Homo-oligomer: A and B are copies of this chain.
Amino acid sequence: MENDGDFDLTDFLPYLLNQAAEEASLAFQQVYRERYGMLRTEWRVLFHLGRYGPMTAAEIGARARIHKTKISRAVAALESRRFLTRARLEADRRQEELRLTVAGQRAFEDLRGLASAHNDRLRAGFSERDWQGLTRSLRHLARMDR
Contacts and interface: CB of A to CB of B under 8 A. Distances in A.
Interface residues of A, number: 50
Contact of A116 (B4, B21, B51): B4
Interface in A1-54: 1, 4, 7-25, 28, 44, 47-48, 51
Main secondary structure of the interface of A (DSSP, over half): helix
Contacts of A20: 17, 21, 138-139, 141-142
A21 B21 contact: yes
Nearest to A9: B47
Interface in A88-138: 112-113, 115-116, 118-119, 122-123, 125-126, 130, 133-135, 137-138
What 3 A-B pairs have minimum CB-CB distances, sorted nearest first?
A17-B21, A19-B142, A4-B116
